[in-house]
């Protein structure tokens, strides 16, 4: 009984999941922006999280760049906004404009799991 109460309390304390897009980590996504290249292991058709991102500005900053699979040379242009940043340099981006074919490939890859 006490164990169930602890689990229930923890669920209340955890933030509610607000993502609308299925997230995935395989295959790895390559992001290139402002002269830097990154490997993203947390992505969806809504955006991506990037560890150790360069200081490109505060939440709300617009970025442009290219994205594609880390194992492929084909990259697609995107425009994104920074929606989250932490003190360790991890950043979350939301795609604002991206090639529909690229987003479809992301969606198919996430759904195959």
Q: What is the pLDDT of residues 31-79, one digit of tens each?
A: 999 999 999 988 888 999 999 898 888 999 999 999 999 998 999 999 9
Q: Which fold has domain 21-111?
A: Thrombin, subunit H (2.40.10)
What pLDDT score was predicted for residue 112?
Answer: 75
| 47: Cα separation from own chain's centroid | 4
What pLDDT score was predicted for residue 82?
Answer: 95
Instruction: State how far the Cα of 4 lies from the Cα of 56, in Å rounded to an integer.
Output: 44
Is a pLDDT exceeding 80 seen at residue 4? no
pTM of the entire predicted model: 0.74
The three-state secondary structure class of 104 is helix
Is a pLDDT exceeding 60 seen at residue 22? no
Virtual torsion, Cα 104, 107, 112, 113, nearest 10 deg = 160
pLDDT confidence band for 9 (50 / 70 / 90):
very low
Give the position of tokens 């991506």.
48
Please report, for the chain, the start and end positions of each structural domain, with discontinuous segments joined by +. 21-111
Cβ-Cβ contacts under 8 Å for 91 (sequence gap 6 or more): 49, 50, 53, 56, 82, 84, 85
Q: Which two tokens stand for residue 2?
A: 């006490």
């Amino acid at each position: 009984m006490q164990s169930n109460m602890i689990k229930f309390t923890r669920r209340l304390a955890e933030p509610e999941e607000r993502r609308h897009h299925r997230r995935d980590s395989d295959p790895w996504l390559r992001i290139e922006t402002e002269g830097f290249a990154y490997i993203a292991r947390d992505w969806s058709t809504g955006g991506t999280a990037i560890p150790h991102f360069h200081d490109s500005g505060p939440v709300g900053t617009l970025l442009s760049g290219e994205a594609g699979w880390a194992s492929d040379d084909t990259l697609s242009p995107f425009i994104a906004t920074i929606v989250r940043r932490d003190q360790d340099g991890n950043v979350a981006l939301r795609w604002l404009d991206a090639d529909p074919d690229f987003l479809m490939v992301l969606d198919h890859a996430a759904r195959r799991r």
